[in-house]
Structure 1
Amino acid sequence: MITVYGASDDLIEIDGDISEEFGYHNEDKGDLLAFSDGTVLRIVFTDAAIWRITTVARGSAELTIEQAPEDDESNYTDRATLIGAVWVVHGLALAR
């Protein structure tokens, strides 16, 4: 199991079977995370100071995304959980 979420205003956190921290770079369009099962997620820090995670491509892993409320300062990040992915790559662009 892997959980993805944002921290502060410039960090992307990966916890669970993999633990890693990526710097956030693409403030205009968000950063991309590609997983070994084929899942691709976009994570963006919004003008409302909330981390939002959306699905770009669905892979074979079981994926759930829990959305953070708009008005809760103690819960300012969506959380994506993947069951079945083995590795993750952080990037800024996706070519199809």
Structure 2
Amino acid sequence: MPLTVYGASDDLIVVAGDIREEFTLHHAGEDGDLLAFSDGTILRISLGHAGIWRIRPVVRGTAELTIEQAPEGDSSNYSDRATLSGAVWVVHGIGHAVAVPSRTRN
């Protein structure tokens, strides 16, 4: 079953599907929090100033990923929804690091 990620209320990050979990948002605003998945996908989820949850990919892994954006000004649809298929675990955090490719010396 695919995983669905979305924001709820003013401080909950919800993961639904084979994994069911609710994480508390630590960083409101544009920076948001990170979700890292077993396939290598990293998503940034944030609660914007307009009260709309936004989800952006930071790193695309091997899972199939789709993100359905919530429209501005729709009080009944206040969160983007990300769907991933192929991930078996998820970790919630606020920071990440990525290796920088080394330059070839001449």
**Superposition TM-score, scaled by structure 1 size:** 0.98
* Runs of 4+ that moved beyond 6 A: none
- Could you say which structure has the larger radius of gyration? 2
* Equivalent in the alignment of 1:81: 83
How far apart are residue 92 of structure 1 and its match? 0.3
Cα distance per residue 1:35-55 (max 9 Å; x no partner): 000000000000000000000
Which consecutive residues of structure 1, in runs of 5 or more, have no partner in the other structure? none
Cα distance per residue 1:41-95 (max 9 Å; x no partner): 0000000000000000000000000000001000000000001111100000001
Match of 1:49, SS? coil
Which consecutive residues of structure 2, in runs of 5 or more, have no partner in the other structure? 99-106
Identity %, equivalent residues? 69
Structure with greater contact order relative to length (CA < 8 Å, sep ≥ 6): 1
Amino acid corresponding to residue 51 of structure 2 in structure 1: A
Match of 2:36, SS? strand
**Superposition TM-score, scaled by structure 2 size:** 0.89
C-alpha root-mean-square deviation of aligned residues, in Å?
0.6
